[in-house]
Amino acid sequence: MASIKANVTPELLSWARRSAGYALEEAAKKINNISAEKLAAWEEGTDQPTVKQLYKIAEVYKRPVGTFFLSELPQDFTIPRDFRRLPGEVAGVYSPALRRQIRLAEERREAALELFEDLGEEPPAFPLAATLDDDPDELASRIREALGVNPAEQFSWRDPQRYKPFRQWRTRIENLGALIFQVTGVETQEMLGFSLAEPVLPVIAVNRKIRNPNGRIFTLLHEFVHLMLRQSSICDIDEEEPRPPEEQRIEVFCNRVAGAALVPAEILLREEIVSRYPAARREWDEEDIKTLALRFSVSCEVILRRLLIAGRTTEQFYRRKREEYRQPPAAGDGEQAGGPENRAVRALSTLGTSFITLILESHHQGHLTLSQVSGLIGERVKWVPEIERRMIV
């Protein structure tokens, strides 16, 4: 018995493949290892996939099956401005995983806007703005004030697992009207973070493969500055990499402001560890660097960079230590090492309390079924009570 052919729109097959970031040969291999010639014939309309093959195409391209029967091309997501290194290295190249995460972020934001509408509420407008002419230290002070962060509070966030500081910074930024997601499946060599700088419900995405949670905090603040500049971005944050001059200027500015927000110079220089070092001394003991990094909940590299900017170390010492700190970490993905991560914890980590609160509120007011809640959160219905319980604790 002949397989049933799917009467799809050929142009949509080509559009979905390109939108997903696959070359013809790569996509064909993923679609049950068919030939590139067969896939090309489907895209040209000289042949059609079977219904079973169409379901595999939808799985590979991460699109609903119904997409391929539309009468016209849907509007695709917009790639943010690329602030990574020059073309030929990373910039201008977007893996299927990165494309998927950008599209997911846009879809979640659209869902959040619809939920606000269902609730009869106005989504908050993002209140902060900045320009490249602003003084980085003054801007950093404004950020700390807007987020309600003072030194005593920041120093109290230390915890053995080191995730409390990230959660605290994240919650405060969410309270200003931003959505913050953590993304999976994208290598850190390709992207550390990206942002969608919308005037209402802007988005920050942080790569969960950044193993050091304090590194995630710096990425979070870096992308936060991009939101203030009203610039959507994809970043690898390393200002040592070659870029066009204007983009280099922006990345250096975002790094400088993020560092100053996390480690204000006047607070750092008042620290007992710093004050006991003679002003003429330019090299620092590793244990003292680590102690300061733990106290401010940042990386050792951020502490050294702030000391360099304050004139308390040398460029040579900073670069030597920087190379030590940037040795490849152990491979892995996820917040918790040593075993499977609780699904409720993972959902909260991925989506953030702001987005999940909105979903649950819509459910309790009768706008969403449990099945719809499950679909938006991306976890089975049985995990929803556990997610809600963890939010209340």
- Are 285 and 317 in contact by the 8 Å Cβ rule? The answer is no
User: pLDDT digit string (tens) for 142-191?
Assistant: 999 999 999 999 999 987 567 899 999 999 999 999 999 999 899 988 89
User: pLDDT digit string (tens) for 209-247?
Assistant: 998 888 899 999 999 999 999 999 998 867 666 677 788
Position 21 confidence tier, pLDDT thresholds 50, 70, 90: confident
Give residue 17's domain range: 10-76
- Are 109 and 196 in contact by the 8 Å Cβ rule? The answer is yes
Q: Same domain for 240 and 148? A: yes
Q: Same domain for 66 and 82? A: no
Residue 133, CA distances (Å) to 119, 143, 196, 349 in order: 40, 16, 22, 35
Mean pLDDT lowest among 9-23, 109-123, 250-264: 9-23
Provide mean pLDDT across the span 320-346: 68
Q: Catalogue the long-range contacts made by 33-40 (C-beta closer than 8 Å, 24 or more residues apart).
A: 39/13
pLDDT at 89: 54
Residue 132, φ and ψ in degrees, nearest 5:
-70, -10
pLDDT at 331: 46
Specify the pTM: 0.83
% of the chain exceeding 70 in pLDDT: 90
Q: Same domain for 168 and 242? A: yes
pLDDT at 393: 53
Instruction: Return the CATH number at 21.
Output: 1.10.260.40
Residue 58 lies in a domain: yes
Residue 180, φ and ψ in degrees, nearest 5:
-125, 120
Instruction: Write the DSSP string, 98-141.
Output: HHHHHHHHHHHHHHHHHHHHHHT-PPPBP-----TTS-HHHHHH
Q: Same domain for 308 and 201? A: no
